[in-house]
Structure 1
């Protein structure tokens, strides 16, 4: 890093220098898969499969997932080098499995299937090399985050190493039944009586986070259009200078041709700069989509809390019924009207009803305790996950936005250099 003089340090002095964060240092946590192996996603490959008996084709893209142990001593043991091909749908299956198996964990989002928050010069063709490269980077980041979780699961490891029958091994876990149950619950409109203020604040936070990032991405897309057009229009100077050089003497003509070449370079430089800028936009977009992961956690908690409150309301009803049986008060319903007209229950009938009611109360009490424990355990784990998420978000957003600023400074420096060379050429003409 650059030397610090007089207590001041310009973080932009060293372009491309890694931004160090104390939070990235090890904190004594359990070793994760990401600690043990390097994971890369590369070589997106378009494939076509003809469907049997039909004149139809299934076109998709496969990605090569490669893993290699960080410690060379592990290569011949439990972590050999491996490579498998995976479709996007298999990444989706992995995430769905984890969402059901570890409901309180805030899962990283997958790169989007359809592009949003784009600037007009960016391709939307899902088979275009530029789109595939962005998706490849997004899938790699997804695996890095998944394998950095404090979770040891054979399904994750087999995703990285087992190409054949992996999908069948996931389905064999029976996760789909749980997934269907969760889906019905999450799609229902639930109103809990006692809202947990932590999850209520989290809902507001996720909405505000998405709104803020969406506004930044929208503004950036508009600005990217204008900056791109501004750079490209400089190619007009090149054409004009080339024409102009034909009527000047040798010295000036050569200077104009050099200036034309400089304007061409300046005009073309925006392409690589925008590609780099797009990477930072994709990283910001990841945190926009993280908002949906937070909302899923909130919905799951609401569902668990609603289950507990529903059983609790049944218990309250059973206790009221017990009091009515003990007091002999008739309920205002068909049975109560019959009791008023034809007389109350015999002592034997009353005792049988009371015994049945007490048994119901006992079962409901146990069920309430169980439901509350599940809800409380989920809430405790989810709150811990939210704290970890916010710490990591602070680190990542700091790095993303700082790198974006560094890129803007780089663009300005390159523009200054280009015009300085232009000036030098004209002065020497």
Structure 2
């Protein structure tokens, strides 16, 4: 994107992203996901004994399998098919490392440790099989998204390949010190005097997207509950028609038994349909959580902007001080001015020494200001490009999610209509 192009991170008509090669050129994988097929499977419950008191800890691990998509021209480091076991806490550690190492990236969210939203009926038991399956799918989506980043990171590579000692490898990067520094700066970022309007718009957009998706999910949950109850009540009708058939003549009894079976099938079919619908809700919930990543980018930009403003303020003060020392006029009340009035001003030699120190300080502040401006500008450019990429992914993902949801509702209606059509045919045949 050139400087002359108008940046609009909210323009939903993003241009298509293509990756075309020149004739005869061999396509090289741009990301780990281009090179590897990555799957997470087999959640496994484990128990270990810790400490001198021999207290037991029970936790879940997930198997990450990675294998090359194409053995031709593949990186030798990726040729081997591997399987490693990872805990949820290791996924958290990986995400925290990536947030610090690549602050401009809209970081994909992790699935929750436990169910925290009212629109889902999934059990809050972290060892419940249904809950573990939801989390497995969420972790797989997260891992595939970060492996789809164009930049290959050695820590991500080790996450896929190195089971033993991976935590130590991450901690050796010193990312935690950088994270602590970010937090200290972000706490001061609310005092930014001249916020970037595009990032202010991004903050508002993230808030509105989050509240909008939350409202959709809550409405869907209410509708799903009603539909589920409506389908399940047909099991009662099934029993009634079955009992009724027991007192009728053979022909009518046969028709009523058919009706009973149709209604029983209808009642049971909702379980699979709701499971499929819940999957789409989970995919939509991911974008609810993505809003927090967008807000995090805004906070990081504010922190960088605060650094720039703070150094520029110090620089301005240093220039004022130099002017006062040079002119010998000290405006305002201060102890230096009082001393000059009581005991006389500085000698030419003292003034020269002061000016030299002030010039040195100004030079250091100018260098610091330039460094911080460059850091803020670089972050802003990278973040805006990443937000545009996020917007394109979001547009494609939401289109697919909502289209699949509509198709599911049509499928549900068609199956219901077919049930009542067979009901009518059975009764008319009697």
Structure 1 equivalent of residue 398 of structure 2: 397
Return closer, same or farther for 1:22/1:70 CA change in 2, 3 Å cut-off.
Answer: farther
Aligned to 1:340: 341
Secondary structure in 1 matching 2:163 = coil
What pairs up with 1:190-339 in 2 under 5 angstroms? 190-331=190-331, 332-339=333-340
The 3-state SS of whatever aligns with 1:86 is strand
- CA distance 1:75–1:94, shift in 2 (3 Å): same
Shift of 1:170: 0.7
Q: Do structure 1's residue 360 and structure 2's residue 366 form an aligned pair?
A: no
Contact 2:106 2:390 in 1 (8 A): yes
The match for 2:112 is: 112
Structure 1 residue 190, shift from structure 2 partner: 2.3
Q: Note closer, same or farther for the CA distance 1:41–1:419 as it changes in structure 2 (3 Å cut).
A: same
Q: Quote the offset at 1:368 in angstroms.
A: 0.5
Whether the aligned pair in 2 keeps the contact of 1:46 and 1:60 (CA below 8 Å) is yes
After TM superposition, give the deviation of residue 22 of structure 1 in Å. Answer: 9.7
Q: Give the SS at the match of 2:191.
A: coil
The size of the alignment, in residue pairs, is 409
Structure 1 CA distance for aligned equivalents of residues 237 and 169 of structure 2: 62
Question: Structure 1 residues 298, 76: CA separation in 2 closer, same or farther (over 3 Å shift)?
Answer: closer
Query: Which residue number corresponds to residue 41 of structure 2?
Result: 42
Shift in Å, 1:186: 2.6
Task: Give 1:74 deviation, angstroms.
Answer: 6.6
* 1:9-24 pair list within 5 angstroms: 23=16
Q: Deviations over 1:196-226 (max 9, x none)?
A: 1111111111111111101101111111111
Q: Partner residue of 2:59?
A: 60
Q: Quick one: distance in 1 between partners of 2:146 and 2:40?
A: 14
Counterparts of 2:190 and 2:121 in 1: how far apart (Å)?
Answer: 43
- CA deviation string 1:73-118 (max 9, x = no partner): 4789432111000001111111111111111111111111222334
**Structure 1 position 25, deviation (Å):** 5.7
Q: Indicate conservation of the 8 Å contact 1:47/1:59, yes or no.
A: yes
Q: What are structure 1's unaligned runs of at least 5 residues?
A: 1-20
Match of 2:386 in 1: 385
Would the alpha carbon gap of residues 121 and 298 (structure 1) be closer, same or farther in structure 2, given more than 3 Å must change?
closer
SS of the equivalent of 2:193 reads coil
Distance in 1 separating the partners of 2:338 and 2:17: 72
2:318–2:362 Cα contact (<8 Å) kept = yes
Shift of 1:287: 0.6
Partner of 1:84: 84
Q: Is residue 198 of structure 2 the alignment partner of residue 177 of structure 1?
A: no
TM-superposition CA deviations, 1:374-416 (whole Å, max 9, x none)? 1111101111101111011101111110011011111111111
In structure 1, distance between residues paired with 2:422 and 2:17? 42
**C-alpha displacement of 1:324:** 0.5
Q: 1:25-77, CA deviations, whole angstroms, 9 ceiling, x for partnerless residues?
A: 64569621111110000111111212232253222110000011111447894
Q: Distance in 2 between matches of 1:77 and 1:335?
A: 69
Alpha-carbon deviation of 1:24?
7.2
* Cα RMSD for the two superposed structures: 1.9
Provide the secondary structure at the position in 2 that maps to 1:140: helix
2:41 and 2:62 in contact (8 A); partners too: yes
Determine the C-alpha separation between the residues in 2 that align with 1:243 and 1:58.
53
Deviation digits for residues 262-296 of structure 1, max 9, x if unmatched? 11111111111111001110111111111000111
Q: Which residue of 1 aligns with 2:424?
A: 423
SS in 2 for 1:109: coil
5+ residue gaps, structure 2:
1-13, 22-27
- Cα distance in 2, alignment partners of residues 155 and 183 from structure 1: 22
Asked if the contact 1:280/1:400 (under 8 Å) is kept, the reply is: yes
Q: Give the TM-score normalised by the residue count of structure 1.
A: 0.91
Q: 1:112/1:187 Cα in 2 relative to 1: closer, same or farther (>3 Å)?
A: farther
In the TM superposition, residue 185 of structure 1 has moved relative to its aligned partner by 2.3
More divergent stretch after superposition (292-301 vs 175-184): 175-184
SS of residue matched to 1:78 = helix
